[in-house]
Amino acid sequence: MPKHTSVHTETDPRFLQAAKEAWACIVLAALNFLWWFATAYGLGTQPVEQYTWIWGLPAWFVWSCLLGLPLFVLFIFVTVQTIFKDVPLDAHLTEPDQER
């Protein structure tokens, strides 16, 4: 069994940063799903004869898949650049003077 370290998840800034990054990922995933659902089912509910066509494809497909993917890749890039941070993975972060 691994030994407990003196690093506490409540006070260790690495865990706070990891929680912040996890919430950012959850929000991005939820927004991606909402975008896809709203555009795919919102624009694709009428009969095929009434579809709007873009580049020979149904508009719902262009908006939900072809334009949604690069849009969310951009969102992910911005999120990683602004919210994600490098953190040390050393288990003795809070006790730097202690021997390992």
Model confidence band, residue 5 (pLDDT cutoffs 50, 70, 90) = low
Give how far the C-alpha of residue 29 lies from the chain's centroid of Cα atoms, to the nearest Å.
Answer: 5
Please check the confidence at residue 100 and state whether its pLDDT lies above 50. Answer: no
Residue environment code for 42-73, b if the CB has 16+ CB neighbours within 10 A, otherwise e: ebeeeeeeeeeeeeeebebbbbbeeebeeebe
pTM here? 0.72
Q: Provide the pLDDT for residue 80.
A: 95
pLDDT at 77: 97
**DSSP secondary structure string for all residues of 48-84:** GGG--EETTEEHHHIIIIITHHHHHHHHHHHHHHHT-
Instruction: Indicate whether 87 pLDDT > 90.
Output: no
Q: What are phi and psi of 57, to 5 degrees?
A: -120, 150
Encode pLDDT of 33-86 as tens digits: 999 999 888 887 778 888 888 898 888 889 998 999 999 999 999 999 999 998
Domain layout of the chain by residue ranges: 20-82
DSSP state of 46: S
